[in-house]
Structure formats: structure tokens, C-alpha cells
């Protein structure tokens, strides 16, 4: 079964192959003999090519969190179907939250024409204000979060009407 992961900024395809003496992890041209044994409380003994590592693993939603080599790593588990769909979509009509936070000012309403560079909304995250500005001329389609609302990273904030096809 092939799996796709995002780790440390790279997209990685991994394949686990049962072999007679255990399991192989296939990464492109490379192949490693791997084994994982649970030690309790989220701790595992991982063996890679005969070398033992002490790791901690926890899975939440579409991410697997690993503590290895003295630090934590977040591994995104990629759904290949969704990945394909997103690549074809036109996300450029919506400003997404670059970080989780709160809406502290809303400067525009749906239907309002805006110019590129105009401030649409101001958000605040941990004592830091950030302006969400229009990335092109257009008409406001929707304000997705009202004043005072909180949101997570990547939440849609303001949409512009799709540009008329010329």
C-alpha cells in the first residue's frame, strides 16, 4: 500500500512491503528494514536497518506527530484524491487565514467594489495585528468571519467575486 506524507516541507511517497523476515520501507530507490514495537504511553522502539531509535508517536486527524531525534515532527498524511482536486480549484478568490486568530476590524461588506491593496479586514493573533488586503481589484463576494470571530489557520476570511472570464 503506497502512502503519501508531508514532512519537513517535502512530499514523500512511502511503501511498506512485507518480506519474509519482517517489513521493508521503500522510499524511491532506497529500501530500509523497519520494525516498530509499542512500549506503552505512546513510546515505541523503532528499528531502521538494525539501528534502534526511541520514538513517541501520536496520531490526530490527518497528521501523525512523532518525537524522534530530540524534537517533534508533524507528518501530514495526504489524501491523494483531495490533493488532485485542490490542484485544479481556483482558490485565488478567497483570502485564507495565514494563522489562527480573531477578527478585530471589518472594513468591507459583500457587494462592495474594492481596489487592489485596499484593507478588507484586520485580524489579530497573539497581540499582533495583520491586515488582509485585496489582492486584486474586484467586488467583495463574502465576509466569512464577522467582527470578533475566532478562526483557525487556513480558514476562509474574505472572498472576492470571481473575475469575469474575458
Partner 1 sequence: MIEKMPMPIRKVLIANRGEIAVRVAHTLRTLGLQSVVIYHASDTLSLAVREADEAIEIPAATGVAAYLDVEAILAAARRSGADSIHPGYGFLAENADFAAAVDAAGLRFIGPPPEVIRLMGDKIRARECVAQAGFPITPSATENGTASEFVERVSAIGFPVLIKAAAGGGGRGMRIVRSADALEGELEAARREAERSFKDGRVYVERYVERPRHIEVQVLSDRHGTHVHLGERECSVQRRFQKLIEETPSASLDPGERERLCETAVGIARAVGYVNAGTVEFIFAPSGGFHFLEMNTRLQVEHPVTEMVTGLDLVAEQIRVADGERLSFRQGDLPSRGHAIECRICAEDPQQGHTPTTGEVALLRPPTGPGIRFDSGLCSGQRITPAFDSMLAKLVAHGSERGQAIARMRQALRDLVLLGVDHNAAYLERVLAHPAFAAAKLHTHFLEEHREELALPQPSEAERVAVIASAALATRRATLDAPEPYAAMGPWRN
Residues that bind partner 1 (CB under 8 A): 1, 3, 5, 7-8, 12, 14, 16, 23, 25, 27, 30, 32, 34-38, 41-44, 46, 48, 51, 53, 55-60, 64-75, 77, 98-102, 104, 125-129, 150, 152-153
Smallest distance from the beta carbon of 110 to partner 1, in angstroms? 25
CB within 8 Å of 52: residues ≥ 6 apart: 45, 46
Beta partners for residue 8, in sequence order = none
Least CB distance from residue 50 to partner 1, whole Å? 13
Least distance in angstroms from the C-beta of 39 to partner 1: 9
Please give the biggest Cα pair distance in the chain.
66
Of 67 and 159, CB closest to partner 1: 67
Give the nearest distance from C-beta 33 to partner 1 in angstroms: 10
| Rounded Cα–Cα distance for residues 22 and 135 (Å) | 53
Cβ nearer to partner 1, comparing 68 with 142: 68
DSSP letter at 17 equals: E
For partner 1, the closer of residues 59 and 85 by Cβ is 59
Q: What is the DSSP string of 97-128?
A: PSS-EEEEEE---TT-EE-TT-EEEEEEETTE
Amino acid at each position: 500500500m503506497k502512502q503519501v506524507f508531508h514532512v519537513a516541507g517535502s512530499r514523500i511517497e512511502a511503501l511498506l512491503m512485507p518480506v519474509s523476515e519482517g517489513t521493508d520501507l521503500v522510499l524511491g530507490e532506497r529500501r530500509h528494514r523497519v520494525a516498530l514495537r509499542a512500549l506503552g504511553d505512546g513510546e515505541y522502539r523503532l528499528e531502521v536497518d538494525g539501528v534502534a531509535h526511541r520514538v513517541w508517536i501520536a496520531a490526530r486527524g490527518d497528521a501523525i506527530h512523532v518525537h524522534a531525534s530530540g524534537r517533534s515532527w508533524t507528518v501530514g498524511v495526504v489524501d491523494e484524491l483531495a490533493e488532485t482536486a485542490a490542484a485544479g480549484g481556483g482558490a485565488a478568490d478567497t483570502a485564507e487565514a495565514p494563522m489562527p486568530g480573531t477578527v478585530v476590524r471589518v472594513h468591507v461588506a459583500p457587494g462592495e467594489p474594492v481596489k487592489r491593496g485596499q484593507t478588507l479586514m484586520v485580524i489579530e493573533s497573539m497581540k499582533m495585528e495583520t491586515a488582509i488586503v485585496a489582492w486584486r481589484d474586484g467586488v467583495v463576494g463574502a465576509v466569512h468571519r464577522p467582527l470578533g470571530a475566532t478562526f483557525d489557520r487556513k480558514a476562509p476570511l474574505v472572498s472576492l467575486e470571481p473575475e469575469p472570464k474575458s
